[in-house]
Structures are given as C-alpha cells and as structure tokens.
Structure 1
Amino acid sequence: MKKIMLVCSAGMSTSLLVTKMMKAATEKGIEIDIFACSESEAKQKYNDVDIILLGPQVRFLLSKIQKSVEGKNIPVAVIDSIDYGTMNGPVVLEKALKL
C-alpha cells in the first residue's frame, strides 16, 4: 500500500484535501494511506512514505525536502495551486500516483 504525505505550514489546511483524496481512492478501489502534517512533523516521517506532496504555501521547502530524501526514491512535488485551492482531491491523487 502506498503512503502519501501532504506537508503544509501547520498540517491543518490539507486535512480537507486528504479527505477528498481518500474518497477518490476509495471510489477507484485504490488502497492507499494519505495523511497531512506540518513541516516540523514531516522530517520524522520521510522514511515511512512513498510520495511527498507540498502545499503551495510551503513550496519553498521543495529543494530542502528533495535533498533530505535523496537516494531514497521518494518523489517530492508541489501541489498545483488551483487544484489545492479548489480542493480537487481526485486530480491531486491522480497526479501523485503518476509520480
């Protein structure tokens, strides 16, 4: 089962997006674990995830997190601002799985 971690400033703003992504996964019959956390919590979970997505508000962390997971084959990407703003869980899930 894949694990996707969404990182934002405090781990709160991504909670609704996680819910919508999980709903989309359930509808497609995909077994997946998706959770949100803050930047400070994320550091402790790098080894436990398959994909890391950053909220647009923390896009500045992209290169820092990519360096932290270098050599671990963990893709890191920033969630598209429009998809994030509209809380488009199905699209964010699809993009994440393509990583």
Structure 2
Amino acid sequence: MGMDKLHILLLCNLGSSTGIMVSKMKEVARNSAKLKKVDINIEAHPAGELREYIDKFDVILLGPQIAHRYDELEAIADQKNTPIGIIDSRDYGSINAGNILKQSIVMKMNK
C-alpha cells in the first residue's frame, strides 16, 4: 500500500457520537491483512477542539451531522495541509467502518 501510518481524526458535535465508529474502524483495521503493518490511530473529538488535535492526524473526517461546518473546519485544515472530508451519511448510519477507512486511505494517498 505504500503507507506506514494513518492517523484519522473523526469530528462530531460532542465527540461521543463517533465513539462506536472509532471502535468499529479499529476492529476492521486490526483484521485487515493490508493494514497489519500500518501504524493506525483513530480518535473522535468535538469539532470545536480541532486546533488542539490537528497536528497529530493525517486525515480529518466530519460526521454528517456537522457537515454544515465543513467550510469553517476546512479553513483550519488547509492551514496545516491536512485533507478533510465528510463521512457519507449512509456509511455513518450503517456503521460501515470499512468504507470510512477506505475513504481515509484515499484521502491520504491523494494528499
């Protein structure tokens, strides 16, 4: 895959609604042969804390419930040259951790 680390920051309103997603994404990563040797870190934090955490992450994903804050958060991410995107509401609603991991990988590879 050509990637040695993938640190993903999920942003939501309070940092709690994405907790289940973080757990599922970590589980999928642990069980993936392609990601075995990749240093993966996935955390969820409230969107208001982005400036505190941004330097530790390669990719930022917003929960669909805060998609309306994309422009504001993108301005912060752009200052650090960190890719930012919005999790598809279907993937979020069905807790499709595999698709969200793929989205993160593509974002990092296209950086």
TM class by smaller structure: over 0.9
RMSD (CA atoms):
1.2
Residue aligned with 1:87, SS: coil
Of the structure 1 ranges 66-75 and 43-52, higher mean CA displacement relative to structure 2 is found in: 66-75
1:40 counterpart = 2:48:
yes
Q: Distance in 2 between matches of 1:55 and 1:95?
A: 13
Q: Deviations over 1:1-54 (max 9, x none)?
A: 221000001111100000111111111124300000111222211122110000
Aligned equivalent of 1:6: 10
Residue aligned with 1:5, SS: strand
TM-score normalised per structure 2: 0.83
Moved over 4 A (4+): none
Alignment partner of 1:94 out of 90, 94, 102 = 102
Aligned equivalent of 1:83: 91
1:22 counterpart = 2:26:
yes
- How many residues in Structure 1 have an aligned counterpart in Structure 2? 99
Gaps of 5+ in 2: none
CA positional deviation for 1:94: 0.8
Gaps of 5+ in 1: none
Q: Distance in 2 between matches of 1:11 and 1:72?
A: 21
Alignment partner of 1:72 out of 70, 80, 87 = 80
Identity of aligned residues (%): 32
Residue aligned with 1:69, SS: helix
